[in-house]
């Protein structure tokens, strides 16, 4: 089991290495994330989750907030599939880290209960916009399964993988 | 780009001028907003948004709370489509400014979590009833994309365009 | 009443005239329909509907199949709001005239009952893609309220208004 | 552009090569597809789609019919996201190729309109069960975007990648 996990980790690392070294050849200034980049962000997030020993679901949406890439790690929460997808969509719907949105939606907040729009928003940490090198938002990534801090950290690693 | 925006603004102004000058010929005492009036309210709101340099979605519903007119400004938040429509509907569902409704729906409030009815209400500012000259509510307008103060201001301009 | 209708028609014509004459100044090669163009397509379709004496709902979606502009003509079917929006979305979801899609979804057809995907597709005539001058699809228009032939004709006029 | 596509293809091939050579080390007799295997099936299907020059969405679900992996190729149909996911789910819901199910759901068929269950089934080709080496179904793959024959062929390649 241990060996299997280690092998799995080394494969993901290898894939990432390949994608990273060739990444410079892709246009990083496109206004919509490509599927190769979505794959790259997703696998970078997965590698981070493996390092942290956290089981998560990872979703990437494109500039139109449409699902672009997704992976569900073995034994991660079943309920996190929808949460991860909704975090990614929420982040792109309002171009914001989902945790930052959540500060405004609390009781007494200026947009209290906006979560009831768009078939349900997720407004706690774990959704992060993905930007191109010029800083334009081209998609978003949502992570669910760990603590909200871990989810945010993993999503951030995924998002940053595009511009590194 | 600048020229395009200026042109866009002047066209909207021109359309509004035409609609305003002919508006007097329409019955302003109808009990349901006409599509010409819905268009007029929507475009007046859009013009205001352009003056404020805010990107918004604008929805107008009729007396039956059915969608009557809608426009989504370029590059406005994707998530605001549904929020704008829900603000307009919420305003007409209860004949109230959405921000006023929100004061009653907080924890401990008299209609706590009423947002869960009607497929989701939006109870923060940006939804405003539209009245005819006699003060009867004939529809509502919902705006989303700016701050809640801007959204409310833009919606109010749209609503007032009917009775001016 | 007659005069009101005539006036309404002449206003729409005037707006269209303005938009048409200034339209050349906008980029017609953009890959996503602008709100000015969505408005233009919608009003051209509305003018056509008025000429045909048909009461319709007209929806325009952008390249991401998101609602961009909408108008509901007075006294048109209430049920046509959703049908018009779904026709526009269906047309963009599969880059096809909705009527052409419907030929494939009949009993025995190669994609029978695909209508149950995407929260409900409309696969009879009235949804038409909107293209830019280079032929790239940048959105779609959906019309509902008349016969399917009228709906398709009106949608086509709206779609063509962008490239004329 | 051509180079980018070639590069993209060679990367996918390389990833597949790595996964294939290490695949033997994973348990192929597990009763639920692992995320590494889901990734492998998805990328094998993607490679096949690239060879056929078809733009598709590819979804893999696990033994519980839950989304396990997903990718949306650039410029594939927006409407195919949901169709691909529903094809994968339909295939696992009833342990059958979706095209075979469709023969039974036609008017007069023994399970006419079963498509209305489970939030919408897709009963035309493109959904294929994924089996382990012992022949036990451990998940399913759904493909949408090409002709139904292409979708089925691509899904089959993805499914077979697990047992090769």
Q: What does the pLDDT read at residue A163? A: 86
Q: Does D touch B (3+ CB pairs < 8 Å)?
A: no
Q: What is the mean pLDDT of residues C99-121?
A: 96
- Assign B163 a pLDDT band (cuts: 50, 70, 90): confident
- Name A105's Cβ contacts closer than 8 Å, sequence gap at least 6: A111, A112, A113, A114, A115, A123
- Confirm or reject contact between D13 and chain A (CB < 8 A): no
Q: What does the pLDDT read at residue C19? A: 54
Check D77 against C93: CB less than 8 A apart: yes
Angstrom distance (rounded) from CA A99 to CA A147: 13
B2-57 pLDDT per residue, tens = 455 555 566 666 666 665 555 444 445 689 999 999 999 999 999 999 999 999 99
Percent above pLDDT 70 for chain A: 82
Min distance C34 CA to chain B CA atoms (Å): 6
B110-131 pLDDT per residue, tens = 999 999 999 999 999 999 999 9
Angstrom distance (rounded) from CA C88 to CA C97: 9
Token pair 């502009």 is at which residue?
C69
Give the closest of D19, D34, D70 to A67, CB-based: D70
Percent above pLDDT 70 for chain D: 82
Q: What does the pLDDT read at residue B35? A: 97
CATH number at residue A138: 3.30.450.150
HSE at residue B17, side-chain half, CA atoms within 13 A, is 8
Q: What does the pLDDT read at residue D144? A: 98
Angstrom distance (rounded) from CA A34 to CA A45: 17
C117 pLDDT higher than 50: yes
Domain that holds residue C59: 2-160
Size of interface B-C (CB pairs under 8 A): 73
- Assign A164 a pLDDT band (cuts: 50, 70, 90): confident
Q: Does B touch A (3+ CB pairs < 8 Å)?
A: yes
D69-127 pLDDT per residue, tens = 999 999 999 999 999 999 999 999 999 999 999 999 999 999 999 999 999 999 999 99
- Confirm or reject contact between B55 and chain C (CB < 8 A): no
Percent above pLDDT 70 for chain C: 82
Q: What does the pLDDT read at residue C30? A: 81
Q: What does the pLDDT read at residue B30? A: 86
Q: What does the pLDDT read at residue A14? A: 57
A102-120 pLDDT per residue, tens = 999 999 999 999 999 999 9
Q: What does the pLDDT read at residue D1? A: 42
Q: What does the pLDDT read at residue B21? A: 52
- Assign D30 a pLDDT band (cuts: 50, 70, 90): confident
A20-68 pLDDT per residue, tens = 544 434 444 688 999 999 999 999 999 999 999 999 999 999 999 999 9
Structure tokens at B136: 């009867």
Nearest Cα neighbor of B91 from B33, B40, B28 is B33
B52-109 pLDDT per residue, tens = 999 999 999 999 999 999 999 999 999 999 999 999 999 999 999 999 999 999 999 9
* Burial group, residue B4, by CB count within 10 angstroms (0-12, 13-18, 19+): middle
Q: How many CB atoms lie within 10 A of CB C17?
A: 10
Angstrom distance (rounded) from CA B123 to CA B87: 7
C4 pLDDT higher than 80: no
The chains found to touch A (3+ Cβ pairs under 8 angstroms) are B, C, D
C20-67 pLDDT per residue, tens = 544 434 445 688 999 999 999 999 999 999 999 999 999 999 999 999
Mutation target among A3, A7, A8 for the D interface, most CBs of D within 10 A = A8
- Assign C163 a pLDDT band (cuts: 50, 70, 90): confident
Cα separations (Å) of B108 from B122, C22, C51, C58?
Answer: 18, 55, 55, 43
The chains found to touch B (3+ Cβ pairs under 8 angstroms) are A, C
Backbone torsions φ then ψ of D138, nearest 5 degrees: -120, 5
Number of domains in chain B: 1
Q: What does the pLDDT read at residue B16? A: 61
Token pair 């009949």 is at which residue?
C106
* Highest-pLDDT range among A3-17, B12-26, C2-16, D41-55: D41-55
SS (H, E, C) B80-126: HHHHHHHHHHHHHHCCCCHHHHHCCCCCCCCCCCHHHCCCCCCCCCC
- Confirm or reject contact between A90 and chain B (CB < 8 A): yes
Q: What does the pLDDT read at residue D163? A: 86
- Assign B164 a pLDDT band (cuts: 50, 70, 90): confident
Cα A11 → chain centroid? 20
Question: Which residues does residue C61 pair with via DSSP β-bridges, in sequence order?
Answer: C67, C140
Percent above pLDDT 70 for chain B: 82
- Confirm or reject contact between B8 and chain C (CB < 8 A): yes
- Confirm or reject contact between C55 and chain B (CB < 8 A): no
Angstrom distance (rounded) from CA D122 to CA D43: 22
Q: What does the pLDDT read at residue D164? A: 77
More confident residue, C145 or C28: C145
- Confirm or reject contact between A87 and chain B (CB < 8 A): no
- ipTM for the whole complex: 0.85
Evaluate whether A35 touches A43 at the Cβ level (below 8 Å).
Answer: no
Nearest Cα neighbor of A146 from A72, A13, A61, A53 is A53
- Assign D23 a pLDDT band (cuts: 50, 70, 90): very low
List the alpha helices (DSSP H) in chain B: 2-23, 35-52, 80-93, 98-102, 148-160
A60-99 pLDDT per residue, tens = 999 999 999 999 999 999 999 999 999 999 999 999 999 9
Q: What is the mean pLDDT of residues A128-138?
A: 96
Q: What does the pLDDT read at residue D4? A: 52
């Amino acid at each position: 089991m241990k060996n299997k996990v280690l092998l799995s980790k080394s494969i993901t690392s290898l894939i990432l290495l390949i994608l990273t070294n060739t990444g410079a050849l892709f246009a990083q200034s496109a206004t919509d994330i490509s599927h190769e980049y979505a794959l790259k962000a997703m696998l970078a997030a997965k590698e981070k989750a493996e390092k942290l020993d956290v089981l998560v679901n990872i979703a990437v949406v494109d500039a139109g907030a449409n699902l672009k890439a997704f992976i569900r790690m073995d034994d991660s929460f079943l309920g996190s599939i929808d949460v991860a997808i909704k975090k990614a969509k929420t982040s792109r719907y309002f171009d914001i880290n989902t945790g930052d949105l959540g500060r405004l939606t609390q009781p007494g907040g200026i947009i209290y209960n906006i979560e009831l729009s768009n078939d349900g928003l997720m407004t706690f940490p774990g959704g992060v916009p993905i930007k191109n090198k010029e800083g334009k938002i081209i998609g978003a990534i949502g992570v669910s399964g760990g603590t909200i801090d871990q989810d945010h950290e993993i999503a951030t690693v995924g998002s940053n993988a595009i511009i590194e």
